[in-house]
Structure 1
Amino acid sequence: MTPHLWPCPLPHGGTGEEYALACDSGRALRLLIIPALFEEANRLRRFCAEVMRRLDRGGIDSFLPDFPGTNESLRPLGDQDAETWRASMTAAADHFRATHVLALRGGCLFTPAGLPAWHYAPVKGANILRAMIRARILASREAGLDEKREALTEAAQDHGIVLAGHALGPALFRDLEAFAPDPAVPIITQEQLGGSGLWLRAEPDEDGAQADALAALLVEGMRG
């Protein structure tokens, strides 16, 4: 498993380099893994890497790209919107010659069209924002501040907002409020993997049994 630079489209033309974690041996079956968003991406990254190792042993190449403005990306998160993120995942699928797609949690909002895909525990954008705003309100309360959900939401729609250390621009905030995963894409539920979702844990973690279960489902689905 190695880091890989790939050409990601820029909003006004041209491309810039972004990172992806890659297990690439030039095989026929190639899975693009679209990460979860924000803190959930951090909590699930080790899990994704473990799934990729298992897919590699099963004869499947896999790729985990960064969204522009996240993780190792040098682009400002505040400049991103749904269009740039969807274009980035489509470009990643093309660059890595993906034959299939797995999207996790909020990443399910940005699944490229035209490829066989699965959604793992998909979530609406509004639900992601609601949880992040709730966490900010609780943190502010502990600091002696009294912030209101309605005022924070209005400010975020107009000017952007910082939530859990992530500086979201107004365009991305508004887009996420309105976005929901495509209901036509098959869903992999947490019940199929067993245990509780790793995104619910306080720190990044892994679960070998869950990684085994998800990899087995993907190998079976991709091999038909």
Structure 2
Amino acid sequence: MRKIIVIFIILTAIVISISIAFVLYYNQKKAIYYAEHSLLYKYCIDNYNANNRNFLYNKFLSTVAQKDDTLYNLLKKEKIVFLPYHGFIWKRSQNIKNYIDNNEYTFSKFLFSDKNIYIQKDVEAPITSYKPSVIYKYKSNIFIEDTLFNDKLLRNKYAEIINCPLQNFNAYLNNKKIEDLNALILMQTNKIYFIYSDFDKESEEIIAQILKDNYTSTKDTFIVKINYYNLKDAECVYIK
């Protein structure tokens, strides 16, 4: 009888230990999921872009503190840490470069491994964080929608350069399928910085001049995603 009681106590202790471990595992998964679906990477990317492609971590942390208490506490307690050139991880060991994806993080790995967990992000986050033809203003340490970029300015400039009547040029645009290109552009103290660009240099110069003439400010910082095509792909059609 005593032996049965001892076995029962041992089994109960094991069940309780596993239950506690699973709760800890579940809470970690929940926190990681929260981070992955938060604005964590937007705050990071906005910070990087607004500071001329320099990530200022303390300023980033201050921004998160104002925007998301849960995320801020995870960062402050170093549950989540930043790895330059990689992104954010859920820290489980000192070997911070030893990590796996969240979808690989099973309960068995929680029990028998100390690998860190990578906080997933969109691989194209720097370009897809912003809508095309929307100009974002940097305010309260994040970029917010401010106004629309007038695509007609670019269209009209292309037509002018190739000496094409606007009616003819519009007809060309309506009838020819051209692959759109993307550029993510920072406008800061009347200066233009191409953070990312598919355009050739000639087209970049045209885009930069249009932005400088119409949208820059001496005191504000803006960012815009341009979705268009290169000047060399523009043609003029004859309309009877």
* TM bin (shorter chain): under 0.3
Q: Which is greater in Rg?
A: 2
Normalising by structure 2, we get a TM-score of 0.26
Q: Which structure is higher in RCO with an 8 Å CA cutoff and minimum separation 6?
A: 1
